[in-house]
Amino acid sequence: MHRSAWVAVVSATLLGAAPALASTASSSHPPGISPQHRLAAAPACVHPPTKVNNYAPPVSGRTVALTFDDGPGPTTQAVIDILRSERVTATFFNMGVQQQANPDVVIEEARDGFALGDHTWDHHEMTAMTAHQQETEIRRAAAEQLSILGGRPCLFRPPYGSYDATTLALTSANDMALWNWSVDIEDWKAAGSSSSYWVHRIITRAEAGASQQHPVILMHNQATPDPATVAALRPVIRYYKARHYTFVDLYGRTLLPSVAATARTASGLHRVEVAANGALREQVDAGSGAWHWLGRGFADSPAAVATGPAEMLVAAREATGDVAVREAHDGSWAGGWRRLGGSWVGRPQLAVTASGAVALVMRGLDDQAWLRERVNGRWSAWRRLGAHLLAGPAVASTGGRGLTVVGVDDGGRVVTTHRSAQRWSAWRVLGRAAPVDPALVSTASGSRLLLVTRSSRGTLQTRAWTSRDGWAARGSAVRGAVDSAPGVYLDVRMVRLFGVRGNGLSENDWSLKRGRWSGWHAA
């Protein structure tokens, strides 16, 4: 592919120097060391401003954030089940002592992609404590999450919403943003009752938030059961859905529809997708062939890559958190699924290097990027690449065994790291994007890449990279918003973009011959 065809997508101006982030070298931290040193061992969150946040992040239109304090508790699982079935996200502010008692629930919350925040160790009022006591409450709870997930919380909520200047200084020093709320449903007053009076009262107070553009609703899942909260949750969700609010966590993330993955082999262009019921299916040449069912129990979007003229590899994350791969030869899925271990968040991404190795990247429960490679038919161990990501990572080949990995961090910054000669660079900042999984594709030689990110309004931005010039300084917008994360594929003489628009998968092609996008159409 000619260089000008790629650079035409974005500005030809070179990317200037960017500040380095945490190194890709990262080791696990042994148990038993102090909370201070354990937190120091984890990648830092992006330093937040010293202020109190009360309103949901404004994504596009009206947004609402459901937040649950004091857990995990006996009704947390019921809350998670309702959020899953309604396909909405939320934020859990967990207490350290409750995390210690319920580590499996903490893992489930993280695996499902919910935002997790620090709610102190055991719920003492911050303004009644010394600075040392406040810091101990904050750090001890954060260290407990770190010991369970491997990653630190970047959000903090003080018990009772009570804080002072010391609290603000401590949360900022510990790389946390302080979040309170704008709507208090006072569900804790039900004291375990599930009577119709309390359920109705909770619903009514929650619905009052519709007078706001971006309400943050305070709810509870404490150590004593909250059955009235559980009974009220689904009606509250449906009330806000009916008023066209977008449900976000306190990072601004929302649950998006799954997008298909594509790969071309000698048997045609393969489309692989996870259906709403968790079944994975494949179709060769869209619209012209039958669907082949490859398995059930999957979550999020899959990944697919051609590993040879007639071979392809598919990766998909199971609902249990493990990631599994399966191969096809000459269009036949003769083998079964192989699980690669671990517990992961979000969708996998695949790339084939110029040397024939397969690279698989995932986001861990610690919100860091992880890599596993298949070289000469054998899978390596998982390797932690670092950063603190809200979305991604995506991966592409850059020649030989070179790889480029891109994600979006907790500050909404697009960040990247590159491997050359078996050494990884420090993470560097490319720009800003919404916290949605990016997509990355390379030419066969790996000398050129195309990065696709999504804005808060749903439009896609593209940016080109060449081995000679590096990243272009500015990207180019693609007209028309999509409702999902982007997918991208290099197909013969065109770049294909994929995204869900309305009720179906749509495609937009960049023709190398015409030098422009075709416009969105049904895929």
Domain 3-23+253-522 and domain 57-247, same fold? Reply is no
Angle value at C-alpha 106, between 247 and 157, nearest 5 degrees:
60
Tens of pLDDT along the chain (523 residues) come to 333 333 333 322 222 233 334 444 333 333 445 666 567 778 888 866 678 999 999 988 999 999 999 999 999 999 999 999 999 999 999 999 999 999 999 999 999 999 999 999 999 999 999 999 999 999 999 999 999 999 999 999 999 999 999 999 999 999 999 999 999 999 999 999 999 999 999 999 999 999 999 999 999 999 999 999 999 999 999 999 999 999 999 999 999 999 999 999 998 889 999 998 999 999 998 666 788 899 999 999 999 999 999 999 999 999 999 999 999 998 789 789 999 999 999 999 999 998 899 999 999 999 999 999 999 999 999 999 999 999 999 999 998 889 999 999 999 999 999 998 789 999 999 999 999 999 999 988 888 999 999 999 999 999 999 988 999 988 889 999 999 999 999 887 789 999 999 888 999 998 766 678 899 998 8
Who contacts 210 (Cβ-Cβ below 8 Å, separation ≥6)? Answer: 239, 240, 243, 245
Who contacts 85 (Cβ-Cβ below 8 Å, separation ≥6)? Answer: none
Report residue 176 as tokens: 């946390």
| Other Cβ atoms within 10 Å of 494 Cβ, number | 16
Output the pTM of the full model: 0.91
CATH match of 3-23+253-522 with 2.120.10.70: yes
Identity of the residue numbered 488 = V
Percent helix, percent strand, percent coil in the chain, to nearest 5: 20, 35, 45
Residue among 121, 144, 117, 142 at smallest CA distance from 216: 117
CA distance 207 to 32: 45
Give residue limits of the domains in the chain. 3-23+253-522, 57-247
Give domain 57-247's CATH superfamily: Glycoside hydrolase/deacetylase (3.20.20.370)
Distances, alpha carbon 23 to alpha carbons 359, 427, 465, in Å:
20, 7, 22
Determine contact, residues 139/118, Cβ cutoff 8 Å: no
CA distance 257 to 460: 16
> DSSP characters for 327-383?
EEETTB--S--EE--S-EEEEEEEEE-TTS-EEEEEEETTS-EEEEEEETTEE---E
Angle value at C-alpha 36, between 27 and 115, nearest 5 degrees:
75
